[in-house]
């Protein structure tokens, strides 16, 4: 057994151990918790009290795992997956929903990155595309995103379209830019709403910590508002209440813009964070019984776009089994 060392050099305050390790290793929080509970994780040579402990700058984290083949030191921006090749990492199962000579519509599983970040992750949808559709390597605008026009958060799942040639890529790109593509999601959030239908139009920007934040829209033409003006991108989220529970609400959501973490940030700002979200969370709302789900309750279930013939292509899928199971638990 070889120890794996990771150095925490993030500038973001109050970073949780499980969040940081999930990001670095590609494992989910439940897997990280099992490692911590089993005594296989050390922080500055001490066993953490719990997986949710906060990390201090320059902390040294040691993970003891049988599958690790060599000891590698990691600084900020480096991936714990670099240099490692295991059967689990190389095997990616993707459900293909539709396929033509021009496009591919898939169901992206939760926990899978769409494309590598600066950390150069190996286990991504982009890698799967290159392995199974090598001719797509030159489709698009960036080789690390072959044929990829839009994204889903790593911890979200659902319908995603991939262009198989440049002409389709350009058409899809224009449709997304012109907001012609219809994107629908199933989302479970904390709390209940007064209205059965509503919209959230808070502007979204990136904070100094790296997280996305919401800023309520203000009238920029009024002199009294000039000191309050902050740069943010216009964002619109539309939602309908599908079902209400005692502590939760199941929503059908349509986004009219594609900002980073848009649904998660808008729901958090409105006081209704998404269940399973560890980045935009309100600890006061979370109970031990919520541990029945170890992923983000956010699924892209419907996508509508036009093909090269101008025909409308609509793809809709059912709610994932693990999400259904959680809903049955909270009835």
Known catalytic residues are 153
Cα distance between residue 1 and residue 284, in whole Å: 39
Phi-psi region of 265 (alpha: psi -120 to 50; beta: other; left: phi over 0): alpha
Kindly report the length of the chain: 331
52: part of which helix (H) or strand (E)? none
Cα distance between residue 315 and residue 162, in whole Å: 13
Phi, psi of 66 (to 5 degrees): -65, -35
Pair type for strands 248-255 and 182-190:
antiparallel
Query: Buried (b) or exposed (e) across 230-266, using 16+ Cβ within 10 A?
Result: eebeebbbebebeeeeeebbbbbbbbbeebebbbbbb
Give the residue from 294, 164, 191 showing the smallest Cα distance to 251.
191
Taking only Cα atoms into account, the Rg of the chain, rounded to an integer number of angstroms, comes to 21
SS3 174: helix
Cα distance between residue 207 and residue 261, in whole Å: 13
**Are the CB atoms for 88 and 286 separated by under 8 Å?**
no
């Amino acid at each position: 057994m070889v120890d794996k060392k990771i150095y925490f050099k993030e500038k973001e305050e109050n970073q949780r151990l499980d969040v940081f390790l999930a990001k670095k290793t590609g494992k989910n929080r439940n897997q990280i918790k099992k490692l911590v509970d089993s005594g296989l994780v050390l922080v500055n040579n001490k066993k953490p009290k719990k997986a949710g402990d906060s990390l201090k700058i320059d902390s040294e984290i040691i993970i003891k795992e049988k599958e690790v083949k060599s000891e590698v030191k990691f600084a900020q921006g480096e991936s714990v997956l670099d240099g490692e090749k295991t059967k689990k990492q190389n095997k990616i199962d993707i459900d293909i929903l539709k396929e033509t000579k021009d496009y591919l519509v898939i169901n992206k599983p939760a926990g899978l990155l769409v494309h590598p970040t600066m950390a150069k992750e190996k286990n991504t949808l982009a890698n799967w595309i290159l392995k199974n559709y090598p001719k797509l390597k030159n489709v698009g605008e960036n080789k690390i995103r072959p044929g990829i026009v839009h994204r889903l958060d790593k911890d979200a799942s659902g319908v995603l379209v991939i262009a198989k040639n440049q002409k389709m890529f350009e058409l899809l790109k224009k449709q997304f830019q012109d907001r012609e593509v219809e994107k629908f999601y199933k989302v479970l959030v904390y709390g209940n709403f007064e209205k059965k239908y509503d919209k959230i139009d808070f502007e979204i920007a990136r904070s100094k910590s790296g997280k996305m934040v919401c800023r309520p829209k203000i009238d920029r033409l009024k002199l009294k508002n000039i000191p309050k003006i902050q740069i943010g991108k216009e964002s619109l989220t539309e939602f309908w209440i599908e079902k209400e529970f005692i502590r939760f609400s199941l929503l059908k959501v349509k986004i009219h813009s594609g900002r980073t973490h848009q649904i998660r940030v808008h729901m958090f700002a409105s006081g209704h964070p998404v269940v399973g979200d560890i980045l935009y969370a309100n600890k006061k709302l979370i109970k031990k019984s919520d541990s029945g789900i170890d992923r983000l309750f956010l699924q892209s279930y419907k996508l509508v776009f036009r093909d090269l013939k101008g025909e409308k292509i609509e793809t809709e899928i059912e709610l994932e089994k693990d999400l259904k199971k959680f809903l049955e638990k909270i009835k």
